[in-house]
Every structure is written in structure tokens, then in C-alpha cells.
Chain A
Amino acid sequence: QMQLQESGPGLVKPSETLSLTCSVSGGSIRNTNYYWGWIRQTPGKGLEWIGNMYYTGSTYYNLSLKSRVTMSVDTSKNQFSLMLSSVTAADTAVYYCARVLLGTARYFYYYTDVWGRGTTVTVSS
């Protein structure tokens, strides 16, 4: 059974870059049936999709964050990563990595079917 685990600092200073890594176990990140994504959750804004990426490195970002987001993949380590630059207190959230189940070209869909446990990131000086 596939499991995802987030790791990274729990505290980031304002204006700095938040960096998180998601380690995938129980399956290959090269599986063509999935994207790999990040979602964050705050009490005020609820669940917010940050972006997805394919194992080839192609990415899809939320336009509201696009100028600050970079996602990358390391297939040799079965990991993918998130970087969010110029953070402010508004970026304080629980960050989840997730597997996104893809449909087919004829019937596409994007279901977030496996989630990591989440990691709390606080932006504060």
C-alpha cells in the first residue's frame, strides 16, 4: 500500500523560502497513472490546491501561487519536492503531499486518492 510522508522545517521566517519533500513508499513515482501534488489547509481558506507534477517533471501550478512555487521530482529517491518563496504569515498552513489519480485521454479526471499525514508549517520571525 502506497504511503506518502512529508518532511521539512516546521518554522520558516517571513520572506524566506519554504521547502518540503514528500517521500513515496510502496510504489514507484514513475507510475504513469498518477500526478504528484501538494495541497495546503488553513482554517480560513480551507483546502487549497498548490500544484501537481508528473514524474517527467511537467508541472501544473495554481495561478494564485505560480510566481512563488517550484515543484521538482527526484525519481532516483522516489521523492518530490515543493518550494514556496517569499513566504508571509498567510502561508502558515498544514501542507499535504498527495497522489493524484489520472483518468484516460478519453475520460480524464484528477482524484487525490492518497494523502500524506501533513506537516504544519508556521511562518514567523
Chain B
Amino acid sequence: DIQMTQSPSSVSASVGDGVTITCRASQDIGTRLAWYQQKPGTAPKFLISSASSLQSGVPSRFSGSGSGTDFTLTINSLQPEDFATYYCQQAYSFPLTFGQGTRLEIK
């Protein structure tokens, strides 16, 4: 199985700040990586595919990058609605696996 490791597990930031979350795969997955946003009591929301392609309706302050084993999700100019938990997922092979999540909290 491909292990996905996210860091940090939690981060505190203020509205207007920028944050970067990293995700590392245990083997080369090319750019077959997704990012999801989850708010309490709701299902994960699909944000980014292919490591860097924003889904329709996702604000441009979100961006993703990386390939191979190392990936990042960057959120610029944080808005109140961005405080949530973020997960990466490898889309390369079964079993599909997720990172453990990064909780983005308001400072």
C-alpha cells in the first residue's frame, strides 16, 4: 500500500495569512494526487486533482504543486471559510489511501 504522510498535523493561522501543507507519498505517484477540504459534520470536498488542477468553483487562493513523492497545498490570504481539515489522497493505485489530515485552525 502507498502510505501518505501529511505535515503538519495542525497549524494555526490568522485571516489574511498564507499557509502551506505538505504531503509525502511512500512511492512515486507522478502527479496522481488529490486534495480535499473537510469541515465538521460534512463530507470531504474535492479541491484539487492531478496535484495542481483546481476544481471548478475553488478559489484561486488555493494552489497545489509537486510530483513524484512530494506535494504541497498552499492557501494564500486565508479567509474565515478556509479553516477546516485538509487531506491528500493518492490516486495512483488501489487501495486508495489518504493522509492523516491537517487541521487548519484560527489563531
Residues of A near any B CB (own CB < 8 A): 37, 46-49, 52, 60, 62-64, 96, 100-101, 108-118
8 A Cβ contacts from B27-69 to A: 32, 34, 36, 42-46, 49-50, 55
Task: Using A111-B46, A112-B44 as known contacts, list a sample of 6 further A-B pairs with CB atoms less than 8 Å apart, ordered by residue number in A.
Answer: A46-B98, A63-B95, A110-B32, A111-B91, A117-B43, A118-B42
Number of interface residues of B (CB under 8 A): 23
- Please state if A52 and B94 are interface contacts (CB–CB under 8 Å): yes
**9 A/B residue pairs, CB under 8 Å, sorted by A:** A46-B99, A47-B44, A47-B87, A49-B95, A49-B98, A52-B96, A100-B96, A109-B92, A112-B44
Chain A, interface SS category: strand
- Please state if B95 and A110 are interface contacts (CB–CB under 8 Å): no
Interchain CA distance A102-B6 in the complex, whole Å: 24
Is there a chain A Cβ closer than 8 Å to B100's Cβ? yes
Residues of B near any A CB (own CB < 8 A): 32, 34, 36, 42-46, 49-50, 55, 87, 89, 91-92, 94-101
* Least CB distance, B92 to chain A, in whole angstroms: 7
**Closest B residue, CB atoms, query A37:** B96
Interchain CA distance A16-B46 in the complex, whole Å: 33
Which of A49, A109, A110, A112 contacts B46 (CB under 8 A)?
A112
- Please state if B100 and A62 are interface contacts (CB–CB under 8 Å): no
- Please state if A117 and B92 are interface contacts (CB–CB under 8 Å): no
Which B residues are in CB contact (< 8 Å) with A52?
A: 94, 96
Are A112 and B34 also in contact (CB < 8 A) when A47-B44, A47-B87, A96-B43 are? Answer: yes
Which of A37, A109, A114, A117 contacts B50 (CB under 8 A)?
A109
Which B residues are in CB contact (< 8 Å) with A49?
A: 94-98
